[in-house]
Amino acid sequence: MAEKKGKRAELKTKETDASVTDFINSVPDEQKRKDSFAIIEMMKKATGDEPKMWGSAIIGFGNTTYKSPATGREVDWMKIGFSPRKANLSLYIGIGSDEHTESLKKLGKHKTGKGCLYINKLDDIDIKVLEKMIKISAKKKV
């Protein structure tokens, strides 16, 4: 049986030219705005890339091609990113891989989901541990 080659998929969430600063300034919660600017600095330092809006609510850094292990489809995606959601700060840093296991134990108050790290505010966690996790994820090949 012939092996299927992955097709390039079109996602609804794509890099845009929208202003990251305007987006962050539109976040109603003052603490989330403050934390968002701090996360931007951490991710800029780790990637060497400027932040870009992805869709209407995600801030991404760098570009990569992500290949779905389930379907083989390839999509253009950010290397790392985050979104200041109403419920929490969602960080897209590849949680679920072994390199973050020990750091998650030391991080502080958080939740994880499929590839995501959820925190309520930076004051709830150890910033140095988060910075280390962001650096590891920024260097990782997707």
What is the rounded CA–CA span in Å between residue 69 and residue 82? 22
| Domain boundaries defined on the chain | 20-139
Strand partners, 76: 65
Q: How far is CA 54 from the centre of its chain?
A: 11
pLDDT computed for residue 7 by the predictor? 55
Rounded Cα–Cα distance for residues 78 and 68 (Å): 14
pLDDT tens-digit readout, 31-80 = 999 999 999 999 999 999 999 999 999 999 999 887 777 888 887 889 99
At residue 104, the pLDDT reads 95
CATH no. for 20-139:
3.90.1150.200
Model pLDDT, residue 10:
58
